[in-house]
Structure 1
Amino acid sequence: MSIAVGLIGYGMAGRVFHAPLIRAAPALELKAIVTSRATEVAALDPGIACFATPEQLLADPAIDLAVIATPSATHAPLAAAALRAGKHVVVDKPFALSLEQARDLAALADVSGRRLAVFHNRRFDSDFLSIRAAIEEGLVGRVTLVESHFDRFRPQVRDRWREDGSPGSGVWFDLGPHLVDQALALFGRPQAVSADIVALRDGSGADDWAHVVLRYADLRVILHASLTAPGGDAGGSPRFTVHGTAGTLIKRSLDPQEAQLVAGLRPGDQRWGVDPDPVEWHDGEGRIALRPTLRGCQERFYRQIADALMTGAPLPVPIDEAVAVQEVIEAASLSAREARVVTLP
């Protein structure tokens, strides 16, 4: 038995991330894609049907799971339409454009009896998995400060929806959900949020720099995203810095799976998910030890989706956790607009 998957959208997210990872899950079968790139789909697999509109795909009774990989502003309405059509749904991040939309979708999934998941694939990154394992081992004692950077060096504004200022564009809606989801997976929901989110590049129509602080009782988590800074392995800020009462962890470079997917590598290939950049463990006496980085495994997201649909197992990202991510995304946006600390109720 296999689960028939329909993919809505075949741009960067659909082509580079979703299609390869869906096809790496043995219990999932990618049956149809909504796209105008029929030639590219035929080159991938001539057995995959192409639809011109989401409505056509959602009307197909053979499709069990709809995956939404379209521009951010369309996520919530398409997810709602798919749930109403009786499909299980995976929606790319950001989950929605507002906390209200996210809560409404969660309620609709509950009423419809369908499973709804958000594609927080970065929970399966080598850097995050390695830092989480080191924290859980107690290597730094009680964690007091975390800095999590997701930086790219793209100083020139590009002509695309992610940067044009339209609803759902900007670096905070693009990279912020990854940063927030990882932080909440480690430490839970914060008490308050403060943020500075701005456009710094010449001619930028959307925010391209975000600096967000999650405030806990005895912990601060700094989330930082920029389009004008190289990543840690190119001389910029480390991907993760974790300070605690017994030492510090540093992970310098970003997980390699996105670059591997772009280059044509796929799950199962010998080098898939292998991250040569170690985690540095600095103890209180000035000693430094290098820990091998755990292997990245983003393909596990869709394998866990398949298990959830076939056996009732938990989703890789429970829907209440996805809603909590949206709550922090919205609180940070409000904090930046009003230049104040936003307390979460």
Structure 2
Amino acid sequence: MTPIQTTIVGFGFSAVTFHAPLLEALPEFHVRQVVSRDAGKVHRVFPEARVVTTLDEALHDQATELVVITTPTGLHFEMAKQAIEANKHVLLEKPAVVTIEEGEALLALAEQHRVHVAVYHNRRYDGDFLTVEQLIEANEIGDWQLLESRFDRYRPVVRDRWREKQGAGSGILFDLGSHLIDQALALFGEPDELTGDVLMQRDGAETDDGFHITLHYGKRRVILRSTSFVQGPTPRFELHGTRGSYVKYGMDPQEARLASGREADGTLGEDDPEGFGHLQLAEQAAERLETLSGNYLGYYRDLADGLATGRLPVDLHDALKTMKLIEAVRKSSEDGRTICRKEWDR
């Protein structure tokens, strides 16, 4: 297979942690260009890559097939539009864009230019999520009744970074909420109703820093929540059903390992034994259940296949479903009421 000629736009934390190590490790891709103002930083990772300072300049490169956009979310729409109009495939960092209208416009434009737009919802490739997915599919805990998914942090002081400043695409609901909502949609599809509470709790907060979301699936419930004031361990997942429960503490290890500079290889997503979840079935002794291996490399392998076949691992249609729920969560929080599916399913 000829490597997919790739341009990365932006070279901050997201690009350096979640994209560069994977692209470097996979023969399916070749990073030929990076849009950045720090050539030295780029060349420490990709010594042969061409470094340019503007997207316009990068898009003049006829060989580029895929543009990976890792800039702040508020810039995604215009950058993706430019890339699509230059007949390039696009990979957008989640949650893709800021509004549903922007997403729909990109869908129409991509169809017109016969290119693909994928979205980097890598948390579908977390080992803990894959384990929960397998337990549900195998009916291991019986008929599921409640899933609680948390993404907590201890960050009581506002930091000087774009995600915590007022502006398009900032805030924890876009950042972490998009992951949790996407995972819930991947498991169960769209809910019948939802109830949301979006929070701004820290002193000096300019954007949301916490949320509590309840997704209603008939009598079943999915609870998604995040706060900036949790110090110490809390369950990442709790899955409860008619035959038992599964509780998993700790985060998937791939992000921390990539951020520490570890090479992306087949062991990257293996959970440490002390992190294995607890499975308790009715009238049986509790056991530690080995976590399935996470696989961020698998996302990019699936992307390479998808660009050829049209079956992307996560496409813009998927991302728009998440965007619609994010908007519904905000409306629910602002109005103080539960929102029915017909209000967002347009």
Q: Tell me the TM-score range normalised by the shorter chain.
A: over 0.9
Partner of 2:286: 288
Deviations 1:181-205 (A, max 9, x none): 1100000011122111111111111
In 2, the alpha carbon distance for the partners of 1:337 and 1:30 equals 44
Deviation at 1:167, TM superposition (A): 1.5
Distance 1:257 1:202 in 2: 32
Q: Check whether the contact 1:25–1:306 (CA below 8 A) recurs between aligned residues.
A: no
2:151 is paired with a residue of what secondary structure?
A: strand
Give the drift of 1:59: 2.2
Partner residue in 1 for 2:247: 250
Q: Structure 1: which amino acid aligns with 2:105?
A: D
Unpaired runs of 5+ residues, structure 2, are none
- The yes-or-no answer on 1:335 pairing with 2:335 is no
Partner of 1:3: 4
CA-to-partner distance for each residue in 1:57-80, whole Å, 9 max, x for gaps? 122211100011000111122112
Letter paired with 2:269: G
Query: Any residues of structure 2 matched to 1:214-293 within 5 Å, and which?
Result: 214-230=215-231, 234-235=232-233, 237-268=234-265, 271-276=267-272, 277-285=275-283, 287-293=285-291
Matches within 5 A, 1:85-104: 85-104=86-105
Measure how far apart 1:218 and its partner are.
2.8
For each residue in 1:203-226, what CA deviation from the matched residue of structure 2 results, as whole angstroms up to 9, or x when unmatched? 111111111111111321111122
- TM score, norm. by length of structure 2: 0.95
Could you list the structure 1 runs, at least 4 aligned residues long, displaced by more than 6 angstroms after superposition. Answer: none
Structure 2 counterparts to residues 44-63 of structure 1, below 5 A: 44-63=45-64
Secondary structure of residue in 2 paired with 1:302:
helix
**Structure 1 CA distance for aligned equivalents of residues 229 and 76 of structure 2:** 27
| Contact residue 248 and residue 276 of structure 2 kept, 8 A | yes
How many residues align? The count is: 339
SS in 2 for 1:151: coil
The answer on 1:123 being equivalent to 2:124 is yes
* Matching residue of 1:138: 139
User: What SS does the aligned partner of 1:239 have?
Assistant: strand
How far did 1:286 drift? 6.3
Alignment partner, residue 76 of structure 2: 75
Structure 1: distance between partners of 2:328 and 2:25: 36
Residue 189 (structure 1) aligns with? 190
After superposition, the CA RMSD in angstroms is: 1.4
2:322 counterpart (299, 321, 325): 325
Identical amino acids, percent of aligned pairs: 39
Q: Secondary structure at the match of 2:330?
A: helix
For 1:139, the aligned partner's letter is E
Residue type matched to 1:123 in 2? Answer: R
- Using the TM superposition, give the Cα deviation of residue 16 of structure 1 relative to its aligned residue in structure 2, in angstroms: 1.0
- The CA deviation string for residues 105-154 of structure 1, in whole angstroms up to 9 with x for no partner, is 22222222101100000111011011111121111111111100011111
How far 1:340 sits from its partner (Å)? 1.6
Distance in 2 separating the partners of 1:239 and 1:42: 37
Does residue 305 of the first structure (1) align with residue 306 of the second (2)? no
Q: Distance in 1 between matches of 2:281 and 2:91?
A: 42
Q: Give unmatched runs, 5+ long, in structure 1.
A: none
The letter for the 2-side match of 1:273 is G
One-letter amino acid of the counterpart of residue 207, structure 2: A
Counterpart CA distance in 1 for 2:193 and 2:75 is 29
In structure 1, the partner of 2:20 is 19
Deviation for aligned residue 1:313: 5.2
